[in-house]
Amino acid sequence: MGSGEPDSGIIIMETRQKRAFKILPVFLSGYSCRFGCVYCNASGTSGEIKVPNVRDLERKVRNFLSEHSNSPVEIALYGNDPSSLEPTIWQEILLNITSYCNEHPDAGIRVSVRPDTIVEMGSLANTGIRVVELGVPSMDPHVLKKICREHTPDTVEAAVKILKREKITTGIQTMLGLPEADALEAMTTAVSIIGLAPDFVRIHPTLVLKATALERMFVEREYTPWTLEQAVVVSADCVVQYRSAGIPVARCGFHIPEDLREDVLVAGPYHPAFGSLVNSEIRYRELRTKLLENPTIRVLTVPDEFISDYVGHGRSNIHRLRREFGHDLVITAEKKHPAKGCSAGC
């Protein structure tokens, strides 16, 4: 989806199958999307339709596949809604990438699309697509209407049914803090998504981007973005829900490259380390529960590898816990490997 592009560069991703892939992200952007989701800047009426350079794209894919000829790889097509491309261009892209992937021992295509695009396609057989990330900003029909999404929760269910029938790994990209949405909506959406049993989810807090309908709504005070704190707390609630249902959360938060931030971001709960703020919130809750059960604890010993999440950004967790449970409280890392021993003797 236009405003939800993940990081560029090679990504190693793990899904429920616990299989690591090297991923080449390829961004299909620069052309107008035929939809008009209020939070996205990809819809445009300038009339100028730039199409991806198919030859450049092929070269990039071929090089990547030959560099990683012995590892499992995925070519990830992210960016604007591909169904807005001319059908011949979209088919050419898919056909060419599929033929290169077929020559590799373990390569497939990952694509980020709307649920109604999957329903329109009906089947993904012989496309080489093995992972689909569905854009599902909400499962609340009122929210979907307010954001001009032009599909319903039923469309999402129909799309997931097709993907499951075809044994395609299914991810769901969901959003928090949209117009008409609150914490309860976020939880209700999470519960509905859990009911669909996707292989993984991504959670994106809503940001106000330039040149979007949401920017106009924000300027006219028709929409108030969530605070960073609100977004972190509700994201943590959702992550806990997903994890307890056994659904991995592949990412929390948008990445906007630093040099682009000023040009694209108007308002909203953006933080470059949003995911780690969410993890810290979850770790804080974990430690707080432990202390409520046994307030005499003075030393909290935590796994070495997660010490920074437990301590929190700017030591925020230890400050919060000390305020509630006493200033002599200490968080220390469990030293499994004495040679590496790290103690955040806070």
Q: Is 134 in the site for ligand SF4 (CB under 6 A)?
A: no
Shortest CB 168 distance to ligand SF4, Å: 19
User: Is 24 or 209 the residue whose CB approaches ligand SF4 more closely?
Assistant: 209
DSSP code per residue over 248-278:
-EEEES----HHHHHHHEEESS--TTHHHHH
For ligand SF4, the closer of residues 43 and 280 by Cβ is 43
DSSP designation for 108: E
- Nearest approach in angstroms of CB 160 to ligand SF4 is 18
| Least distance CB 127 / ligand SF4 (angstroms) | 19
Residues 6+ apart with CB under 8 A from 171: 15, 131, 132, 133, 134, 198, 199, 200, 201, 202, 250
The H or E element that residue 132 is part of is: strand 129-135
Q: Indicate the residue type of 182.
A: D
Dist. CA 319–CA 137, nearest whole Å: 34
Q: Does position 241 bind ligand SF4 by CB under 6 A? A: no
Does residue 320 contact residue 287 with C-beta atoms inside 8 Å? no
Closer residue to ligand SF4 in complex, CB, 32/235 = 32
- Shortest reach from residue 33's CB to ligand SF4, in Å: 3
Q: For residue 28, state whether it binds ligand SF4 (rule: CB under 6 A).
A: no
Tell me how far, at minimum, the Cβ of 206 lies from ligand SF4, in Å: 12
> Is residue 33 close enough to count as binding ligand SF4 by CB under 6 A?
yes
CB atoms within 10 A of CB 72: 15
310 touches ligand SF4 by CB under 6 A:
no
Closest CA relative to residue 175, chosen from 213, 137, 149, 210: 137
Told to check if 35 binds ligand SF4 by CB under 6 A, we report yes
Shortest distance, position 278 Cβ to ligand SF4, whole Å = 22
| Minimum gap (Å) between residue 243 Cβ and ligand SF4 | 26
Confirm or reject binding of residue 114 to ligand SF4 (CB under 6 A): yes
Establish if 155 lies at the interface with ligand SF4 (CB under 6 A).
Answer: no
Site string for ligand SF4, 39-78 (x = CB under 6 A): -x-xx-----------------------------------
Is 107 in a helix, a strand, or coil? Answer: strand
**Identity of the residue, 135 or 171, whose beta carbon is nearer to ligand SF4 in the bound complex:** 135
Say which residues have a Cβ less than 8 Å from residue 331's Cβ, sequence separation at least 6: 287, 300, 302, 307, 310, 311, 317, 318, 321, 344, 346
Around 59, how many Cα atoms within 13 Å sit in the side-chain half-sphere?
5
Select 33 or 73, whichever has its Cβ closest to ligand SF4: 33
Contacts to ligand SF4 by CB under 6 A? 1-2, 33, 35-37, 40, 42-43, 80-81, 114, 135
